Amino acid sequence: MTILNILTVIPLAPLFAACFVGLFGKKLPKYFSFGVPIFGVSIAFALSVYSLYLTLYGFKLNETVYTWLASGGYIFEVGFLIDTLSAVMMVIVTFISLMVHIYTISYMKDDSGFSRFFSYISLFTFAMLMLVMSNNFLQLFFGWEAVGLVSYLLIGFWYKKPRAIYANLKAFLVNRVGDFGLILGVALIMFWFGTLDYQEVFNRLPALYSQDIVLFNTSISLVTVIGVCLFIGAMGKSAQVPLHVWLPDSMEGPTPISALIHAATMVTAGIYLVARMSPLFELSDFVLSLVIVIGAITAISMGILGIVQNDIKKIIAYSTLSQLGYMTVALGVSAYSVAIFHLLTHAFFKALLFLGAGSVIIGMHHDQDITQMGGLKKYMPVTALTFLIGSLSLIGTPLFSGFYSKETIIEAASLSSAWGANFAYYALVFGVFFTALYSFRLYFLVFCGEESWHNIRRKKNEHGLKSKEYPVESSKIITIPLVILAIPSIFIGLILIDPLVYGNFFDGNITVNNKIHTNMDLLASHYHGVLPMAVHSLFTLPLWFAIAGVLLAWALFIKKIKINFQFPTTLKSILKSNYGFDAFNEKFIAKGILKLGNFLSSKVDIKIIDHTFVNGSGRLVAYFANKLKLIQSGYIYHYAFFMIIGLFLLITFFVRT
């Protein structure tokens, strides 16, 4: 078996599992519904680790699997690009997916759609693998759209819930906006470069670097236009402002899929896209500054929203939005390796937090309101401890994984000379405070303090613990993935910062113009090891902002110190309404499109196209038919007269010519 055949098995194993369970899951014993997908994803994970191992020793593959179509000089292929960048993504996707698959056995055991859910998450894994393994834009777009389609199915998994249907439609439509930008970028690449192969596009960049195109009577750099289009695609998938509105609502899906979407698939696709396209993005300072500003706005604004949420899953969802903003800033300041490093560490602790939240939801009999919990540490010690580890990593506690990646992003922003980097630095620093505040507000209200559910009177069929009921620790099938994910949430950053950020791990696979963007070289000169970095953080703003956030949360929700301060009503309503993005979209975008559609339907389609052209042509034919039928008199001399007239006209025509 060749290496290409082995690599082909990686995406096909979860695809086969998805098809098998989707077709036969209900007809076979239940253990087939989870056993086959877990086996398929395990194979994909093992082979992904093997691929990563090979890349560490210089292995790189860029080959076509087969040619799908050739037309007009364009070749459309399915192929794989395996290097350190794609191999890291493959390992992240398959490992998190494997943990989610195992966790789902217990979480979804009583759900009527048990086999259907396993089919969907295996298909989701296949789609993401096809995206990150692709060596061309056609396959990238296939994986991109497949991820969007399966997310639609998963977010709306409980399709009898109106909110779930609203959420999956919202996710689908908002992502279409970003995808439109992506396909425009791909179309421009195909037109100007004459190929969709990554490497060929990168090779032809120097020749087309100075190429301009005219838009709205203005000459604009081709590279800039393509970069903006591709980044719009990334904004949709990675939920950057203003295309972020779908992500909080995606919490209507089951908790395991929330973990998979937020930790390893879908939202990381945009980050990977920009990192993979680094040779192109490095040629446009405008695009890089745009990336910085959008990322900074997302990081700070979404972090603030996290402190006013009461739904346990939505708090973690806004945390994801904020952390994606950090990654985006890293991309904008040309610290692509740092962005991937944070993507890696974030995958572990965010999956841990979501799966921990799922454990809490089970223990609370599906109540998700953190104000109705409290004191769960006594009843769910494993969940509490692992959740604390995830929270400490999230806020950037020294020696934890999240510290090394987040601290490096902030320092990279501080050292960058790019336009917008200074704004981004302060946004990220203040974002640390809000991250610590909402993270430990969540932890304290859920696991510490008074047991609030005793004071709540619930209806017979209402979710949540009754006054005389107590939560119990989740089964080992749920807690084992939590423990496994807690280990890298502590140690993975400490182990991998040297090779991934300051080593040559991504050399040749990520491009940085070191002559112009020097902040990575400056970062390397400031770095003296993992322990000195942790010690140095004691004298930096991010750590003290994090401590301030934790202390404020402790004072408010443990000591219950009353602070004579209230949010202004207007500000509170703005935060509760997600800054009005949803209202704006509903009032102007959705209703505007609806009004346009109604106008086109009633005025253009019915009155002009249907009434005038379709029915009008019919009436015109009928009119002339009614007139022409009058000449059908039945008298031979009438027909002879018309024949003579016709013959006269015919002869006249030929004589004149």
Higher pLDDT, 194 or 461: 194
Residue range 436-453: mean pLDDT, rounded: 91
Give residue 356's pLDDT: 94
CA–CA separation, 444 vs 46, rounded Å?
38
Instruction: Of 34-48, 95-109, 131-145, 505-519, give the lowest mean pLDDT range.
Output: 505-519
Tokens at 71, concatenated? 């037309």
CA–CA separation, 491 vs 488, rounded Å?
5
For residue 242, whether the previous peptide bond is cis, meaning omega lies within 30 degrees of 0, is yes
CA angle 355, 102, 109 (to 5 degrees): 85
Name the residue among 61, 226, 260 with its Cα closest to residue 157: 260
For the four alpha carbons of 49, 54, 55 and 61, in that order, the dihedral sign comes to: negative
Name the residue among 225, 200, 198, 229 with its Cα closest to residue 212: 225
Give residue 360's pLDDT: 93
Claim: this prediction has a pTM higher than 0.75: yes
pLDDT above 80 (res 591): no
CA–CA separation, 512 vs 127, rounded Å?
29
Give residue 303's pLDDT: 92
Q: What percentage of the chain exceeds 70 in pLDDT?
A: 97
pLDDT above 60 (res 657): no
CA–CA separation, 9 vs 578, rounded Å?
43
Instruction: Of 305-309, 380-384, 451-455, 505-509, give the lowest mean pLDDT range.
Output: 451-455
pLDDT above 70 (res 564): no
CB 225 within 8 A of CB 206: no
Residue range 435-449: mean pLDDT, rounded: 94
pLDDT above 80 (res 654): no
Give residue 66's pLDDT: 86
Among left, alpha and beta (phi > 0; psi -120 to 50; other), residue 416 is beta
Residue range 332-355: mean pLDDT, rounded: 94
pLDDT, tens only, 251-281: 888 999 989 988 888 899 999 999 999 999 9
Question: Is residue 138 very low, low, confident or very high in pLDDT (cuts 50, 70, 90)?
Answer: very high
Q: What percentage of the chain exceeds 90 in pLDDT?
A: 58
Give residue 7's pLDDT: 92
Question: Is residue 460 very low, low, confident or very high in pLDDT (cuts 50, 70, 90)?
Answer: low
Residue range 472-483: mean pLDDT, rounded: 92
Give residue 567's pLDDT: 61
Give residue 1's pLDDT: 65
Give residue 454's pLDDT: 76
Give residue 573's pLDDT: 77
Contacts of 367 (CB under 8 A, 6+ apart): 361, 373, 453, 463, 464, 465
DSSP secondary structure of 575-590: HHTGGGHHHHIIIIII
Instruction: Of 2-16, 69-83, 112-126, give the lowest mean pLDDT range.
Output: 69-83
Instruction: Of 111-115, 233-237, 345-349, give the lowest mean pLDDT range.
Output: 111-115
Give residue 575's pLDDT: 78
Question: Is residue 584 very low, low, confident or very high in pLDDT (cuts 50, 70, 90)?
Answer: confident
Question: Is residue 181 very low, low, confident or very high in pLDDT (cuts 50, 70, 90)?
Answer: very high
